[in-house]
Every structure is written in C-alpha cells, then in structure tokens.
Amino acid sequence: MTTPRGPQPFAGQEKRLRLLAFVRQDSIVRVDKRVEDTAMVWPHLLVIEFIASMLWSIGLFVIAAAFNAPLQDHATPDCTPNPSKAPWYLLNLQELLLHMDKGLAGVIVPTVWLTFMAVIPYIDTSREGVGIWFTSANGKRITIFAAVYATVLTFSLILLDAFLKRPEDQGGFGYIEKATRYLPGGKQLFPNYIIPIVLMIGLSVLLVLIVKRLYAANTREWMIAIYTGFVAVYLVLTVVGTSMRGPGMDLFAPWAVPATHQCLEPKA
Amino acid sequence: MLEIPAQIWQKTKTSYIWRSLFRHGYPDSRKNQSLAVFTNVFLHLHPVKVRRHALAIPYTWCMGGLSFFLFLILTLTGTLLMFYYHPSVDGVYNAYGDIKDLETVVVFGQLLRNMHRWAAHGMVITVFLHMIRVFYTGSYKPPREFNWVIGTLLFFFTILLSYTGYLLPWDQLAFWAVTVGYEIARATPVIGDEFAFVAFGGFQLGPNALLRFYVLHVVGLPLLTGFLIAIHFWRIRKDGGITGPL
C-alpha cells in the first residue's frame, strides 16, 4: 500500500483538524528564515538524539562494567591521608590554595570568576559572530595565542613558586623565611595577598592589552582571549593538582608521584 | 494469510482505545510528524522543525543534550541507590556498610553504583564542554544573555551535586576530600565559621554533615537543577532554538 505524500487526515478524524497544525512555525519565532533551511524534528533530530543516547548508554555501561568506583576504608577522623585531595574537578581550587590565602583562592577567586562569566553577555553585547566558531579567523588566532600564553605562564608560575618556597638548605630560595624576616606584613601580606592578586589581575589585563595591540581585538575578541585564558588556567591547575602533587602537596613529575600515605598521624 | 494480521492491525488502529492513546497516525507524513512532536509531552520540548544547522554535530557537539541525558541517568540510578542507603555514620545500618552491601550483596549493586559514579564525573565534563561550545560559537549573545547566566548557575550546581554526592559513601576518600572543601568554606572572609557551621552542620565533619549533604544531594539540589534546566530549555525555544549563523 502506498501512502500519498503530504498532509492527510487520519482514519475517522477528517473533520477534526486543529488550527495549530496550520500555524507555520517560522511565523512564530523566525521571520527571516526560509523553509528550505529547516528539517523536521521527527525524524531528523530525534534519530540523532536516539543514536547519541544509545551510544552513551552503551559506553557508560561498558565503563561501569569495566571499572569499579573507588571505595576505601571506613572514614576515620584520626587518620589523615597525606595528601588529602578534593575531587578532581575541585583540584584546581586546591592547587590555587597552595599559592595564596585560603579565602582568596577558595572563595573569592571562584566567586569573582563565576560572576564574571555570568556577566560576559552584558559586556560583549554585539551580535557579531553568533553561530560561528571563534567568530572569525582572527578569533581563532586569538584563542590559540591566549591558550599558549595562559598555559605557559600558569605552569611557569607554579614551578617558580615551588622553587621560591623551597628552603634555602634544600637548594631553593627560602622565600617564606625571607618574607617573614624582611617584608612588611611578614609571610601573609605580600606572599598570600598582594603578589597573587597583582599577578592574577595584571596578567589578565596584560593579555587583553597584547591581543588588542597584536590582533586589534574588539570586545568579542578580547573576551575570547580572557575566556580562553581562564579555561587554560583551569585545565593546567586541574592537571597539576591531579597528577603532579604528592605527599605534603609537593610538586612531582607526573610519573614520579609517590603513593599517598594513608595515615599522616595515626593516634594510638 | 497475511490479511489476518493486517486486518487486526487496522482494527486496532481505528479502535476507540487506540485513538484515545494516539492522536495521530504513524509519523510518515509531514502532518503526522508534526503531530507526533507537539502532541507528545516529552517530544514537545522540541519545535516541529529545526534549522539544518542545529543538526550538525561538529557544531553542537551534542553536549547540552548529553548533559541532560546524564542528568536523567543519574536521577534514575540515584533513585535506585536510595533504596539501599541509610545516611548514617554508624549503627547497624550505616552509609559505609550500605555501600559495601551494594558491592557484595545487592544484585547488580556494584554496576549500579559504578554507573552513578561515572555518569556523575561524565556530567561535570559534558557540562563544561557544553559551556565551551556555547562560548566559542558566541551563543550567549542577544537575545540569549540570561540563558547564559542560567547556564553558569547550572555549571555551579553540577559541581555542587557532584561534590555533595562525593561524601555519601563515608569512606576515607569521601571524608578527606570533603574536609578540603570544609577548610575552604571556613576560610570564607567575615562569615567563614558561620557559613561552614550551617553548610556542614558543625565544627567538624560528622553525622550532621552526612545528613545535610544527603538531603541536598537527593532533594534540594536536584530540584533546583531541574527547575533551572526547565527554564534553560524553555528559553532556548523562545529565543529561536539553537544558534546558527545569522
């Protein structure tokens, strides 16, 4: 049996067509779009969604069958593992904690960042480049530049900090001892507040200035630079925190991280 | 021979009961395809037609949809896990013992727990990737500004959901990972101790923290997240669907 193409009444319902069926969807939301540009959700979109959800279900099932979720011993407040680490998606914050004041790294910086991210559309209000990856070729160049800039700088700063803070007798700079002795505010004011804040703001501003100078970046483009910088820093901190921190949260090469000591100070 | 099943099928399709269930024929015509979408409570999240651009996986990465899909899987597996879980630190029925039981006694318990765990990690990743896709394609631009704000909130809630769930097994890993967060909460300027006290139910991690995290994890945060997801989807529709070149 062949079915004629096009709209057709279904059995017994010839007279009960609803008006809604005749309202052209384009007239509601998109005035400027031609019909040729669209595809029916059933089947085109639903097929993609079905396949995607099946693949992910199977993938999740295979992963869940192959790898067990970790479970260690019963929680014991008396036995502190060294190092104790947060879940990996918060290790970026934990990594940041090592380089500045706890409240600054753990609360203020993430709050400022989330707020800044939320207001991005209110700073970059142009409609330029909607629906186009990286907006333009220039945007793509800026993305690459910002990613390299932020990755290299963050990684260098982590290494520099590790060197500076190592005591002098271990071949480091003995920065904390020197700061305590010579700097106003001791080991708090400069090492934990002023230097990190100046670096975070200064390097971000510098990035914007560079892309404005080198790539004549407009608002959308320097926003790309800042956002890319954030993503790169976030990833570097996560990777370093996850795979390069061992006991005492000391820095190690990823392949040389010693095993976690299960109990730092077992009490009797 | 074949006429008999065909006749039965035809009879079924025109029966009173069938027509009360399905208000359209098989979706092989434009009209029935439209009806299939907008007379179905689940499918009507979608418009009847989308721009071809919105179907391109190199453009969408599918990450928004997959985040939602993982959210649904997490809701399902999480609800099943709740049947076996007591948010209690000690006693005959306690959190750690329940997880041990899931791994050793409950049929498919280990698989259930694994799926919940890995889907939770997966959702953090997919939400993050979705955010990256939306940013680099400029999809936060007018009229979608506020939906981007909701999106950042959803990212935050995804992390919170994952983090509150991390404590629930009450093993060493959970306890000390959450202790790191507790120390961060206490370092909040001005209201640090008060904030940590309210969020963790005490000045150290204990039964109150477990109960609070449990309630937040299974009721509070999923409700809030679901609420925001509803607004997020609604606004995508109202703003003309997924973005594309103008």
- CA B228/CA B119 separation, integer angstroms: 20
Q: What is the mean pLDDT of residues A3-8?
A: 60
Split at pLDDT 50, 70, 90, the class of A27 is: very low
Q: Which of A37-46, A138-147, A228-237, B75-84 has the lowest mean pLDDT?
A: A37-46
Cα B140 to its chain centre, rounded Å, is: 22
Query: Is there a contact between A89 and B159 if contact means CB atoms under 8 Å apart?
Result: yes
Contacts of A87 (CB under 8 A, 6+ apart): B162, B163, B166, B177
- Phi, psi for B50 (deg, rounded to 5): -125, 160
A220 touches chain B (CB under 8 A): yes
Residues of B (174-203) whose Cβ lies below 8 Å from A: 174-177, 179-181, 183-185, 187-189, 192
* pLDDT at residue A6, rounded to an integer: 61
Position B2 confidence tier, pLDDT thresholds 50, 70, 90 = confident
Nearest to A114 among B37, B152, B174 (CB): B152
Read off the pLDDT of each residue in A226-237 and give the average, rounded to a whole number: 96
A114/B contact by beta carbon, under 8 A: yes
> Is the pLDDT reported for residue A189 higher than 90?
no
State the average pLDDT over residues A223-249. Answer: 94
Query: Highest-confidence range of A79-93, A247-261, B96-110, by mean pLDDT?
Result: B96-110
| Cα–Cα distance for residue pair A180/A182, rounded to 1 Å | 6
Strands B49-51 and A38-40, bridge-based pairing: antiparallel
Whether pLDDT at A88 is above 60: yes
> Domains in chain B, start-ordered, CATH in brackets?
53-238 (1.20.810.10)
- pLDDT of A268 > 50? The answer is no
Residues of A in contact with B162 (CB under 8 A): 87, 89
Q: How confident is the model at residue A155 (pLDDT cuts 50, 70, 90)?
A: very high
Distance from CA of A133 to the nearest CA of B (A): 4
Q: How far apart are CA B95 and CA A99, in angstroms?
A: 36
Compare CB distances from A52 to B25, B66, B181 and report the shortest one's residue. Answer: B66
Confidence of residue B51 (pLDDT cuts 50, 70, 90): confident
Cβ separation A3–B28 shorter than 8 A:
yes
Size of interface A-B (CB pairs under 8 A): 256
Average pLDDT for chain A = 85
pTM of the model: 0.88
Q: Is B11 an 8 Å CB contact of chain A?
A: no
> What ipTM goes with this model?
0.89
> Omega into B5 within 30° of 0, i.e. cis?
no
Calculate how close chain B gets to A169, using CA atoms only, in Å: 30
Through-space distance between the first and last CA atoms of chain A, rounded to whole angstroms: 84
Nearest by Cα to B64 from B229, B223, B221, B218: B229
